[in-house]
Amino acid sequence: MPIYEYRCDKCGEEFEKLVFGSTEVECPKCNSKDITKKFSVFGMSGVEKPFAGTSGCSTCSSSSAACKTCK
């Protein structure tokens, strides 16, 4: 039951919708079905350990665990 972000192409309203299966989504402001699913960015807070494949270092952009400044 993911929550998706949408933008109405008719009135410009941006909204989120909890989607079950093949539920047809319409704009809550103008009831248009002319909508576009937005690209959503996944975010987490309170994570203490870096994600796999990342260095967890804020001083460089290296994703390598071999970075000397990140150890």
What tens digit of pLDDT does each residue of 21-63 get? 888 999 999 999 999 999 866 665 665 665 555 555 555 655 5
Domain boundary assignment for the chain = 1-40
Q: Name which of 14, 15, 33, 12 is nearest 24 in CA terms.
A: 33
Q: What is the pTM of this model?
A: 0.54
Dihedral, CA of residue 48, residue 51, residue 56 and residue 62, to nearest 10: 180
Tell me, what's the pLDDT at 23? 84
Nearest to 3 by CA among 33, 34, 31, 42: 42
Task: Assign 67 a pLDDT band (cuts: 50, 70, 90).
Answer: low
Topology, domain 1-40: Rubrerythrin, domain 2 (2.20.28)
Query: pLDDT value at position 7?
Result: 96
Distance in angstroms (rounded) separating the CA atoms of residues 43 and 58: 17
